[in-house]
Amino acid sequence: MPHQFHPTTLREYDIRGIIGETLGEGDAYAIGRGFGTRVARAGGSRVAVGYDGRLSSPALEEALVRGLNESGIHVLRIGLGPTPMLYYAEAVLDVDGGIQITGSHNPANYNGFKMVLHHGPFFGPDIQSLGTMAASGDWVDGSAGSETVEIADRYAARLVEGFEGKAFRIGWDAGNGAAGPIVEKLVRLLPGEHYTLFTEVDGTFPNHHPDPTEEKNLTDLRALVAEKGLDFGVAFDGDGDRIGAIDGEGRIIWGDQLLAIFAEPVLRAVPGATIIADVKASQALFDRVAQLGGTPLMWKTGHSLIKSKMRETGSPLAGEMSGHIFFKHEYYGFDDALYAAVRLIRAASDLGKSVTELRGEMPPMVNTPELRFQVDESRKFAVIEEVLARLRESGAQVDATDGARVNTPDGWWLLRASNTQDVLVARAEARDEAGLDRLMAQIDEQLALSGLQRGAQAGH
């Protein structure tokens, strides 16, 4: 029976929607049928399925499993847990793919699906193919069952495999997201003193929103680190694939700064390796990787795009400004915030410095957070093309890897179209406030020339 998805739900990296409005159990069933058909036609027969702590997740999981079963796919149900636990299950169990039901860091009424096929990311045209197949009912028929697989303890043990780090005093904020129960297991396996916040899974997110890249969501962690005099603190998003961190003084360690810390021990182990970061990362990171003898590579934003580029280049480490950190070095190459937290402990141990010292050594840069401007979906990519055309004509120094990133004597600015929302994303970084003002004026000028203004700033 054919099925039509809401036009907004099939995104570049995943499937996402508002429960009861743009996403429901019928969609979950159709995703199961479509993904199951893809697996079956490639000769596979087994898929792992997990889900996050949102109130809508169990019902979506039931419908998804039914869709997979009716396409002849046997399901290994790993239950409630963070997205990286599903990625881990897909990597180590005898399966042909995996699906995590998760709304990630979106508001509580959202949910969605992240998928892996044959140990590789499933995105872009793959996700669009599910819509095409559903519209024509192009699904294989079959029947299969499911089994429950307990993997949480095995996953927690894998996070600390080979761990030789020192004992630190650390605060952990799970934000009532799906990572909470694993955090509780993990801290029992680590040396040191650990204080946890909000590790009970609660899909209404009663304490704060689970997005550690927004400063306001780190208030409780900062208070804990200050009150207990801890060495540092880490925080996780709703499904545990993005990390936030603060040092002992409460200063935020942004995604690109974490990558700069991780790069040093990794490049000692793998000299000259390619370290990848997205176009929103600081120039200071790319300079630091080069200084350490590595090969810095700027790439497009998006976890699926980064994973694909890592495979292509053999990169042992990559990351995004948004807190997705990918370790292929001694791990599987997927984004896992819990593993990144363990590697932060290891990096501080290996480098013989506190996390506060490592943060303090970073060059002072004046930069904006990620700025978002509402733009009509039909215009967002066109605006970027217009900006690029004007910049090239003016002889500006432009990197067009993902949008327009422009280098000037003051620093750099970026304007790109979001792949997941109807917004343009901007960021700028300079050595001083006056330079930053000049960079922002250039962004304003380009927006104005395309009939937009920065005043229409959008939230997440």
- Residue 460 counted as domain residue: no
**Which of 109, 127, 150 is the last residue in one of the domains?**
150
Domain count, the chain: 3
Quickly state the pLDDT bin for 460 (edges 50, 70, 90). very low
Among 261, 226, 27, 265, residue whose Cα is nearest residue 127: 27
Using alpha carbons, list the distances in angstroms from residue 8 to 15, 128, 377.
9, 11, 10
Q: Which domain holds residue 108?
A: 15-150
- Which of the listed residues 114, 130, 150 is the one where a domain comes to its end? 150
pLDDT, mean over the chain: 95
CATH number at residue 375: 3.30.310.50
Do 259 and 306 lie in one domain? The reply is yes
**Is there a single domain that holds both residue 137 and residue 158?**
no
pLDDT of residue 341: 98
pLDDT at 412 over 70: yes
pLDDT higher than threshold 70 for residue 429: yes
Task: Render pLDDT for 369-403 as a digit per residue (tens, 0 to 9).
Answer: 889 988 988 899 999 999 999 999 999 999 999 99
Does some domain include residue 459?
no
List all residues 6 or more positions away from 133 whose beta carbon is below 8 Å from its beta carbon.
33, 34, 37, 139
The pLDDT tens digits for 310-367 are 999 999 999 999 999 999 999 999 999 999 999 999 999 999 999 999 999 998 889 9
Is 5 contained in some domain? Answer: no
Concatenate the DSSP letters of all residues of 20-73 into one string.
Answer: TTTB-HHHHHHHHHHHHHHHHHTT--EEEEEE-S-TTHHHHHHHHHHHHHTTT-
- 42 in any annotated domain: yes
pLDDT in tens, 265-304: 999 999 999 999 999 999 999 999 999 999 999 999 988 8
Q: Could you give the count of Cα atoms lying within 13 Å of 359 in the half-sphere of its Cβ?
A: 19
pTM > 0.85: yes or no: yes
Same domain, residue pair 145 and 163: no
CATH of the domain at 135: 3.40.120.10
Q: What is the pLDDT of residue 246?
A: 98
Q: Name the band, by pLDDT with cuts 50, 70 and 90, for residue 459.
A: very low
Residue 3 lies in a domain: no
Asked if the structure places residue 2 within a domain, the reply is no
458 found inside a domain: no
Q: Is the pLDDT of residue 229 over 50?
A: yes
Among 80, 104, 82, 88, smallest CA distance to 14 is for 104
Express each pLDDT in 129-144 by its tens digit. 999 999 999 999 999 9
One domain, residues 258 and 208: yes
Q: Do 376 and 300 sit in the same domain of this protein?
A: no
* Under 8 Å between Cβ of 265 and 371: no
The verdict on residue 283 lying in a domain is yes
By annotation, the residues acting in catalysis are 104
Q: Measure the CA–CA gap between 127 and 284, rounded to whole angstroms.
A: 35
> What percent of the chain has a predicted confidence (pLDDT) above 90?
90
Same domain, 63 and 82: yes
Domain end marker among 150, 175, 201: 150
